[in-house]
Structure 1
């Protein structure tokens, strides 16, 4: 089972490289698109105040939200997690999963840009639901930042937009719905080295993690604000 899922990861990645389409962490079927920003803020949502900082954690209380999967964690298809829904994936997790608080399950949860930069792509990706891909320079290094499981209908940015650290990109999608590709309500946050787009949520080998940065540790080392 694990071998099949790992094979799917690698196959999906090369389909993205050759066909210009983004794979899910396991399944190669995707539908990432560019879109115009025509949506407003959901009711009862978090504040959209832009933080005055070069770097900002995408959600407040960042580290206390990491309860299920963190960067570099080896996930097996046979692992059982106490979550409401979601598919079984396998491999090394490329980012941090930030869980919502009980009181946030039925309200808008704003996701903030971790750094200033440019929006590369936005759209629906199988395995994520809404995904925002951003280019940024962290401490002089060119990086690509990923924000997964957002509600595409809530996005306030489109491809080509410039964003400022702390700016609201959109809102988390409803858990166990098409907005999150059937996953629980949470944010998958990842940072990839370089400008190439690689949307994999899992990689087959530990050595493959060298292409990613530990997102929480990286922001903390840069003095990111909440």
Structure 2
């Protein structure tokens, strides 16, 4: 099952192995919309930041919905293998998807048009994110690399971590656009300068794959969650001081 909470706390979306997407009132628990027959298991759901769009991932395609009306807005087909990650742009107008076919794509969330195709990896794309200003996308892959590209043209800016022989499972931008952090299958968390591509910090402590990472709203700390059952908090400020 997949689950997502709208940022305003009003709606909850759930996706299920019965091929359905359900939207609930978060306060009362009332089922608002039951959207059936999405074609396959719904493995991921995500709201746009303003809550106006909801994306649901089913195998090789993504459907975009108006969560308040329960109406389909667009369908995003095109990947050749299962989609493993997706994220909205900050304004909610675009979506980036990453697939087991080793590619990533940036789409219009309203028309379903492909705006950019990214063929930067040699293996499955495990995580993808927009920069806070929406100008850049970052993708992390099983091939051990993180790549940043212009989100409109798809032009590569930097390849990060190509010296690491382990899958990269998670990626996140700081709310301030810089730095950018990744979490790997070997438990390491690494941080780069997103503007220059310069590596400046590595955190070790997890004994399992890092599955999720997120910066605190002020960008000074980084949280990582791993399948060793732990969540760790790392000081970005301390890392920046050491890098100077």
Q: What TM-score does the superposition give when structure 2 sets the normalisation length?
A: 0.24
Structure having the higher helix fraction is 1
Q: Larger RCO: Structure 1 or Structure 2 (Cα < 8 Å, ≥ 6 residues apart)?
A: 1
More strand by share: 2
Between structure 1 and structure 2, the one with the greater Rg is: 2
